[in-house]
Structure 1
Amino acid sequence: MSTTRLAFIAVSSVVLLGTAYSVVYNTYLDTSNPLLTHLPHPLSKTHRWASKGNPLNVYFIKKAWGWTSAAFLLAWGTGPPSTRTVPRLTRWFSATAVWLVFTAWFFGPALFERIVLASGGECVLSLPSGDALSLPAEYCHTGAAVSPATHPALFTTSSFVLPSEWRATPRLRKGHDVSGHIFLLTLSILLLAQQIAPSFRLTRWSTPHAVAMCANLTLIGIWLFATGTTSVYFHSPGEKITGYLLALVCFIMAQIPGNALVATAPREKPHAN
């Protein structure tokens, strides 16, 4: 069985079982609810991984594509010439481009932001009183903080008097908030699993490449664990499933340029006897 198929089975099982657990035991936090999303998870004091401030989230998940890219490039760069192929590099580059389109920019707002708005989402600023202030969507697209001092016109309707030095960043809430963590982790797991496959066909590894392979396998394990914690504690079930399905689609899309290079590459002619 290929490493990609093993990874697919593993991540699918983790997402489905974790999501089912979150429904049965009501452990998930609906991050689309503007009245809840800025609050600590109800289980954060008794369940370490339910806290957004846990080390796994702060140092790994939030920088997941950077870790994934570093692991892949380390394995690619330390491998023998037979494994340092352009199609492999192209698949990583294509996956990076797809990741950017969904999470950072798509001719303006990223696709995830467009999905939230198209499904009824709003740009919301959480106030210290617990109320939510609706703002025009462009304030969420810029990602800049607002305050009574910098944007006084936004706070004229608020009954709660805010100190001028108070500031906060508005976020898109409500709507269908696709789980970006599930999307990113699933895509990372599948990509790394696919890209380490050529190394398992080698008869021996150099020491640097062995270290790189250990790093890749360790990271895949971390990403699977992170997928489990996200599935159990965060996002609604539907948002986790759509994040997972979109990751599968994007992984398949990222294969197209690399597969095209393989298909058009000249093949070696067999030597005559």
Structure 2
Amino acid sequence: MSQRRKPTVPSAANGQPAPLTAGMPASSMRASSNARSPFFPTRLEALLISIYPATLVLGSIFSIVSPASRSAPYSAASQSHPPEFAPSYFAQKKNVFNVYFVKVGWFWTTLAFSMFLIFNPGHGAGLSTRRIQAVLRYASVTLWWMAITQWFFGPPLIDRGFRLTGGQCELMRDADARAGMSDTREFFTAAACKAVGGAWKGGHDISGHVFLLILGSGLLWLEVLPALTRSEELRDGRRIMLKDGKVANVSVEKDPHLENEKPTKKGVKTALTVAALMWWMLLMTAAYFHTWLEKFTGLLVAFSGLWTVYFLPRGVPQLRAVLGMPGV
């Protein structure tokens, strides 16, 4: 990793680095001949992001080579192994981590983000611009989570996609109920279907677990990463496009006003703990639940939300003026 120092961003009156704005002149940052697009992650970010597809591949390979997983029957309707044949405690949908952590995963994401937002001194004092922009980034990612899994002017996008690919609700409770199966085609969400004893079958079902775990932990990592790189004096410049069309490098610099900060003791530890547990449950999901395609589309949908909030603004000054960038 390059250790070359970049010019620091000008300081504001309160001692905090001034927010990076669309109107900041290119001369205040180092121009680079590197052809890397502003929309692409840095080397450090790319390494971090690559952990997610690698985890899905590792878990999927484990499910193939593990004798216990290969011998256990798999139910496509429930997208898991039947409880009585589950090859592991983590292969049971009612395991404590799935029930009290993954099922309410956005609560834990919100809690960890809030702790970091409150206690990280890098956000400045009070209702600073950095803190407001961090809240706007969190709100944007939360809206994406809601649109995919909760509500999107009606059924969420995950259920709309299922029905568009030929899925429907089938009543499976008993033989008599199956006579009215055609009526249940009007249940537009998986939750409504299961509430009446039906089975959500026939279409492509994006892995909601993979989507949630990657989106939540990705948000935490991308917010916390600048605090860690400042703490460890790592340098990994992010390329941005300025309002005048010029491209410049911006990196996290050691701030003399924050020499005594200990970010890993205030907020960062909580965020890293939640992100680490999400990674573990992602590995368990990859090993015991869903098909390859369901996990892959969950990954793509999560990445699309993260890219829009954390990478798109680097090449769009107007959007960056609203959402900002973590640590800048």
- TM-score range (shorter-chain normalised) is 0.7 to 0.9
Q: Deviations over 1:212-264 (max 9, x none)?
A: 21111111110110000000101111100110111111111223786556743
Instruction: Write the distance in 2 (CA, Å) between the matches of 1:204 and 1:262.
Output: 33
CA 1:17–1:134 in structure 2 vs 1: closer, same or farther (change >3 Å)? farther
Q: Which moved more, 1:168-177 or 1:191-200?
A: 168-177
The answer to whether structure 1 residue 221 and structure 2 residue 276 are counterparts is yes
Q: Deviations over 1:139-163 (max 9, x none)?
A: 34394589xxxxxxxxxxxxxxxxx
CA 1:238–1:143 in structure 2 vs 1: closer, same or farther (change >3 Å)? closer
Q: Which of the residues 173, 188, 201 maps onto 1:127?
A: 173
Aligned length in residues: 241
Report deviation, 1:39: 7.1
Give the 5 Å matches for 1:87-106: 87-106=133-152
Q: Which of the residues 205, 208, 221 maps onto 2:261?
A: 205
Query: TM-score w.r.t. structure 2 length?
Result: 0.63
Give the 5 Å matches for 1:1-273: 4-25=45-66, 33-34=76-77, 40-41=82-83, 43-44=85-86, 46-80=87-121, 82=123, 84-127=130-173, 133=181, 135-141=183-189, 143-144=191-192, 168-200=196-228, 201=230, 203-205=259-261, 210-255=265-310, 260=317, 263-264=320-321
Consecutive unaligned residues of structure 2, counting only runs of 5 or more, are 2-42, 125-129, 232-258, 323-328
Report deviation, 1:16: 1.6
Q: Deviations over 1:49-71 (max 9, x none)?
A: 00001011001000111101110
Instruction: Write the distance in 2 (CA, Å) between the matches of 1:211 and 1:264.
Output: 27
CA 1:233–1:62 in structure 2 vs 1: closer, same or farther (change >3 Å)? same
Instruction: Write the distance in 2 (CA, Å) between the matches of 1:143 and 1:42.
Output: 24
Report deviation, 1:42: 5.8
Consecutive unaligned residues of structure 1, counting only runs of 5 or more, are 147-166, 266-273
Query: TM-score w.r.t. structure 1 length?
Result: 0.75
Overall identity of the aligned pairs, in %: 28
- C-alpha contact (below 8 Å) 1:187/1:247 kept by paired residues: yes
- C-alpha contact (below 8 Å) 1:143/1:169 kept by paired residues: no
Match for 1:136: what amino acid? T
Instruction: Write the distance in 2 (CA, Å) between the matches of 1:66 and 1:170.
Output: 28
Q: Deviations over 1:71-120 (max 9, x none)?
A: 01110111226454333222111100011110111121111001111111
CA 1:37–1:217 in structure 2 vs 1: closer, same or farther (change >3 Å)? closer
Instruction: Write the distance in 1 (CA, Å) between the matches of 2:307 and 2:97.
Output: 27
Instruction: Write the distance in 1 (CA, Å) between the matches of 2:266 and 2:190.
Output: 40
